Amino acid sequence: MRYFVVKGSIVRKIWGNPDTTLFIFAGGAAEFALNKAVDWLYFTGRLPADPIGRLFSTVGYAKKIVFSEEEDALRAIDQITAIHKNVEANRGAKIPEWAYRDVLYMLIDYSIRAFEVLERKMTETEKAEAFIVFNAVGLRMGITGLPENYSDWKKSRDQHLEMDMAYSAFTADLYKQYRKHLGPVRFAILKHHRRLESCLH
C-alpha cells in the first residue's frame, strides 16, 4: 500500500499533533493577511466571513494529503486545484504563480517552525523532508518556479517575504474579522505569534 507521505515521516509526526497543526495555521493566517494577493480571499468572501470554518476546512484537506493513500491524496490535491481554477474562471483572472508559491512556502516554513517551538529542533534532513513533501504537492498542482531543493527554497522563501508582503485595507479588514471570530484573547495570541515569527525571519 503506497502513501503520499510514507509512514514514519517527520511530516506525519508534525501534522499528527493538533497543537502543531493549529500553530501552523495561526502563523499562516496571520502572514497571509499581509500578502499582496490577499484580495483573492475577498473575491469569494468565504474566509473573511468564516475564518475559523475555513481554517478547519483547510486543515482537513492538509491532513487528507498527509495521511491518505497516494491515490486519495492525489485526488485531494486535484480537488484543491479545481477549486482554485473555478475561482479564477469566475473572476476572469489568474492567481499569480508567486501567490501559489507563497502559500506552499508557508506550509513548509510553519511546519518546521511549529515543530521546533513545540517539540525540538529538527535536523537538516528532516527539514528537507518537509520541503520534499509539500513541494510534491505544488508540482502536482502545476505550480511553476518551484525550487529544486531545500537550500534553494530557503533563499526563495526570503525573497518572497521581501517582495510579496504589504499592509493594505484588506489586511486591516481581515484582522478585524479574525478578532471578531476568534475573540480578543485568541486574536492577541495570533498577533503575538505574527510578531514572533517576524523576528525569527
DSSP state string for 169-182: HHHHHHHHHHHHHH
- 96: DSSP letter: -
Task: Return the pLDDT at 52.
Answer: 72
Tell whether 115 is covered by a domain.
yes
Tell whether 44 is covered by a domain.
yes
User: pTM of the prediction?
Assistant: 0.88
CA distance 195 to 30: 9
Task: Return the pLDDT at 198.
Answer: 47
Tell whether 3 is covered by a domain.
no
Reading the chain (201 residues) residue by residue, the pLDDT tens digits are 899 999 999 999 999 999 999 888 888 888 888 999 999 988 877 777 777 777 677 778 888 999 999 999 999 999 999 999 999 999 999 999 999 999 999 999 999 999 999 999 999 999 999 999 999 999 999 999 999 999 999 999 999 999 999 999 998 998 888 888 878 776 776 666 554 444 334
Tell whether 2 is covered by a domain.
no
Task: Return the pLDDT at 121.
Answer: 97
Tell whether 80 is covered by a domain.
yes
Tell whether 36 is covered by a domain.
yes
- 3 has which bridge partners? 69
End-to-end CA distance of the chain, in Å? 39
- CA atoms within 13 A of residue 139's CA, in its CB half-sphere: 9
Alpha helix (H) residue ranges in the chain: 10-15, 18-32, 39-44, 46-49, 51-67, 70-91, 97-118, 124-141, 150-164, 169-182, 184-200
Of 6, 47, 2, 45, the residue nearest 25 (C-alpha)? 47
Residue in the structure block whose three cell numbers are 475555513? 54
CA distance 76 to 1: 18
Tell whether 81 is covered by a domain.
yes
Domain count, the chain: 1
Sign of dihedral through CA atoms 173, 179, 180, 182?
Answer: positive
Q: Are 190 and 65 in contact (CB under 8 A)?
A: no
89 burial type by CB count under 10 A (0-12 exposed, 13-18 middle, 19+ buried): exposed
Residue 84 is part of which domain span?
10-200
CA distance 16 to 10: 10
Question: What are residue 60's phi and psi, to 5 degrees?
Answer: -60, -45
Question: What are residue 145's phi and psi, to 5 degrees?
Answer: 75, 20
Tell whether 172 is covered by a domain.
yes
